[in-house]
A and B are shown apart, each in its own frame.
Chain A
Amino acid sequence: MNVSDSPVAEFKRGIKECLPVTIGLLPFALILGVQGSQQGISWLEMMLMTGLNFAGGSEFAAVGLWADPLPVLLIIAVTLMINTRHILMGAALTPYLKGLPLKKVLPALFFMTDESWALSLADINKRKKSGEQPFSLAYYIGVSLTVYFVWFPFAGIGAAVGPQFGDVAAWGFGMAFPAVFLVLLRSLWKGFSAALPWLVSFLTAIVVYVNIDGAWYVPAGALAGLLATYIQVGKS
């Protein structure tokens, strides 16, 4: 074990590698807060939602559905639907979490987001190649807490300052999100054959997105890709 493997160094590495991601997150959090305030959500409600639920896609959906009287069950059901991808994400992390005690796994999974999960998976692949122990919990926590402490405070600020921030979306920050994911995809690249299921996912997601309202395109696309992998591996 060398110095760079110490938990503190790994934690800091997580924060550092997450910083480009926050360029995209921060304006999204502000936009969410501003949209929330326009729907009558107070800054306290916004910070509770983003701090306790902490899953951006479902929060944008909840804000869109927010009304008086509040459709409590509908919002909860839509939240569940949108976040079904977490099941697959948690499953993908499980081989690396297995050896850890539950008192670490349970809080770690509370903070699992698209960003922390994807950065960690990419990191696992990188460390595997260099022969290190694949999963670094301290790195994951560094990424997760960075995302957390950008997300919920800035959503609260957005809700508090309201419509003055209305046009953040027009500044191009929306492109940060796919940019991050594209770089992560390249880090997972293992050749054209291994990427065929991605193409199936991609095309399925687009067809579902164009034809069906809501976030169904995420589970539909992901499952189609997994099915393609299942068939592909079975044949070979």
Chain B
Amino acid sequence: MISWASLLTILGMMAVTYFTRLIGFFALRNRTLSKRAAAVADAAPGCVLIAVIAPYFVSDKPSELIALALTVFAASRWGMLPTVLVGVVSAGVLGHLMK
């Protein structure tokens, strides 16, 4: 069911991933940030979020780009659930229509 090699791989993945989760905290917890550093830390969430979803904006499928545009529109006006529904339904429907 599980080999030593895959167990070792999974434990290694766990170790490095947990390390990435801890290190930001341990590097900063005993420091008071300068105004500039605080501004940078404040900008981090938005910068990470937009970098993670950037590939969706260069999709090679027109149906996905249109669905994404509708999702951006929805996100600028409505809350989480309606926006997710607009995204999923438009991507699903347009994906089938424009296949």
Are A185 and B49 in contact, CB atoms less than 8 angstroms apart? Answer: yes
Kindly list chain A residues whose C-beta atoms are within 8 Å of the C-beta of B72.
Answer: 182
* A54 touches B (CB below 8 Å): yes
Are B55 and A90 in contact, CB atoms less than 8 angstroms apart? Answer: no
Most central of A170, A202, A204, A220 by chain B CB within 10 Å: A202
Instruction: Give how many B residues have a beta carbon under 8 Å from the other chain's beta carbons.
Output: 74
Do A221 and B9 contact each other (CB < 8 Å), given the known contacts A48-B2, A109-B21?
no
Per the bound structure, the CA–CA distance linking A126 and B29 in Å amounts to 23
**A194 → chain B closest CB, angstroms:** 7
Are B12 and A76 in contact, CB atoms less than 8 angstroms apart? Answer: yes
In the complex, the chain B residue whose C-beta lies closest to that of A185 is B49
Partner of A23, one of B3, B48, B84: B84
Which B1-52 residues have a C-beta within 8 angstroms of A?
A: 1-3, 5-25, 27-29, 33, 35-36, 39-52
Are A179 and B83 in contact, CB atoms less than 8 angstroms apart? Answer: yes
- The majority secondary structure among interface residues of chain B is helix
Per the bound structure, the CA–CA distance linking A195 and B8 in Å amounts to 42
A-B contact count (CB 8 A): 282
Per the bound structure, the CA–CA distance linking A52 and B7 in Å amounts to 11
Instruction: Give how many A residues have a beta carbon under 8 Å from the other chain's beta carbons.
Output: 93
Do A183 and B83 contact each other (CB < 8 Å), given the known contacts A205-B50, A221-B50?
yes
Are A180 and B80 in contact, CB atoms less than 8 angstroms apart? Answer: yes
- The majority secondary structure among interface residues of chain A is helix
Do A90 and B24 contact each other (CB < 8 Å), given the known contacts A58-B17, A205-B50, A206-B54?
yes
**A225 → chain B closest CB, angstroms:** 3
Are A202 and B5 in contact, CB atoms less than 8 angstroms apart? Answer: no
Per the bound structure, the CA–CA distance linking A75 and B25 in Å amounts to 25
Are A86 and B91 in contact, CB atoms less than 8 angstroms apart? Answer: no
Partner of B25, one of A94, A177, A178: A94
Do A92 and B79 contact each other (CB < 8 Å), given the known contacts A172-B92, A172-B93, A201-B51?
no
- 6 pairs of residues in contact across A and B, judged by CB atoms under 8 Å: A94-B24, A183-B79, A185-B49, A188-B49, A230-B40, A234-B36
- Listed in ascending order, the chain B residues whose CB lies under 8 Å from chain A are 1-3, 5-25, 27-29, 33, 35-36, 39-58, 64, 67-68, 71-72, 74-76, 79-81, 83-93, 95-96
Given A92-B44, A202-B54; 20 other pairs, CB 8 A cutoff: A24-B88, A52-B14, A53-B14, A79-B12, A90-B22, A91-B24, A114-B49, A172-B91, A175-B67, A176-B87, A179-B86, A184-B49, A197-B47, A198-B50, A206-B57, A209-B58, A210-B58, A217-B54, A225-B51, A230-B39
